Amino acid sequence: MAAPVATVVAQAAGQLLQRARQLAQPPPERRGPLGLIATVLLGVVVLACLAIVAILGGAQLAGGCTPDEPIAGTWTGPGSLGGIQGTGVSAAELAAARRIPGVGGTRLTPGTYSPTAYFPHPSAPSTNCAATCLVTASGIRVNNARRRAYLIASNPRLNQYGALAYIWPNPYGWRGPFVVADTGSAFAGSGRLDFYIFQDTRETWQQALARAYQWGPANHVQVSSRPIVAGGPSIATPTATETGAGDVAVAGCDVVLDPELGARIGQIAARHVGSGPSIPGFAPPTTDLAWCAWFMSNVWRQAGVPIDITWFSGAPYAWAQQHNTLWKALAQPAPSVTPPLGAALMYGSGPQSAQTSEHINLVSKLNPDGSFMTIGGNESNRVMLSGPCRLTRGPETRLQGPGCDTRPVYAIAAPGVSA
């Protein structure tokens, strides 16, 4: 597998630093103005390299994770087209799709979807073949509808390129997974997907197009990260934990982080440090209830996160489950000592009730040493800034640091991406 971008940059930076050091250490007879200039050059190179590595490192996935997750093997049962889990897609194609910044990965949003079907053939009406009939946005080829593979297009904010999705019913009666390979202009919201229809060797293109027309938005299909009907391959997902809700909540490595959104959350929260339970512009602007979740959900919503205003500190857990943005799930350790910027920290023993979910606050700033600051509402009946904090990584996750909340952190929800 190719090395991660940040690793490649770090290696190149090391070579530049080595050369700069050589320039800064000339032979004794040549020291003087040249040595001073080379020393300045060394400083510039160091700062530039550190900045590049930091930027690229921050653009990757959560908490020290790597996008090079294990890829499931081949499957040769009924309906298999070969390749990964019988999808007809090779391991190299799947790995390349998952590495596309921002939209590639393994994140999947289960639920009920309204499907349509797309026939990528030059003769099909209303087909932009110049852009779509040879290759998908993920780089997986379709070859003018001659490719044989189980592919769908969807909203990559919900279902990332390279994710494997069980869908039932579907045009092929296929009981294994489909590969998320593309998107479309109509998929700005949730609840939509396109099946790719390919031309069978025994049919005309008109017959294949007629099969595509059978799938309209009036139909409904179920999407899941595990088999819906028996008889197909089963994907093992090492980073998933059972939630008891009938699907899988993926935490840690699968969570896509948006640094700009996180920074916006921190900036909005910081404006209100010192405020009480009355903040103009919030919904409602004043409350006499326990207001930590009211503060957190208002800040997220003002930053662009599509979350409802709530007074219950456990409610963001269910929201994060639904949107696959749990960075740390219940009964899981934290992926690292530094949570995502803008994330919501939930304290107590679980999201079941107000008795078990005791408090919630926000990660407002990440410090260069890996520590972080928190801002929370209803802390001594005002908005308070605390830290620097770090997460423990033992059996029970807590915060360590001056003024940091010492209660167990049962979950951490990343805000995901802007609506």
With b for 16 or more beta-carbon neighbours within 10 A and e for fewer, the 48-76 pattern comes to ebeebbeebeeebbbbebebebebbeebe
Question: What are the C-alpha distances in Å from 74 to residues 159, 233, 354, 365?
Answer: 22, 9, 46, 44
Percent of the chain predicted with pLDDT > 70: 74
Tell me the two tokens of residue 86.
């019988």
Q: pTM of the predicted model, to two decimals?
A: 0.47
CATH fold of the domain at 257-413: endopeptidase fold (from Nostoc punctiforme) (3.90.1720)
Tell me which range, 13-27, 115-129, 361-375, is most confidently predicted by mean pLDDT. Answer: 361-375
Q: What pLDDT, in 10s, does the model give residues 301-356? A: 999 998 999 999 999 999 888 777 888 888 888 878 889 999 999 999 999 999 99
Contact (Cβ atoms closer than 8 angstroms) between residue 134 and residue 143? yes
How many helices (H) and strands (E) the chain has is answered by 8, 15
Q: What's the confidence (pLDDT) of residue 50?
A: 42
Tell me the two tokens of residue 172.
């092929």
Q: What's the confidence (pLDDT) of residue 408?
A: 96
Q: Do domains 91-240 and 257-413 have the same CATH topology?
A: no
| Domain spans of the chain, in order of start | 5-58, 91-240, 257-413
Q: In what order do the strands lie in the sheet with 344-348?
A: 326-328, 409-413, 344-348, 357-366, 372-379, 382-391, 399-400
CATH fold of the domain at 91-240: Barwin-like endoglucanases (2.40.40)
Among 266, 250, 248, smallest CA distance to 258 is for 266
The DSSP 8-state label assigned to residue 71 in this structure reads P
Q: What's the confidence (pLDDT) of residue 315?
A: 94
Contact (Cβ atoms closer than 8 angstroms) between residue 20 and residue 42? yes
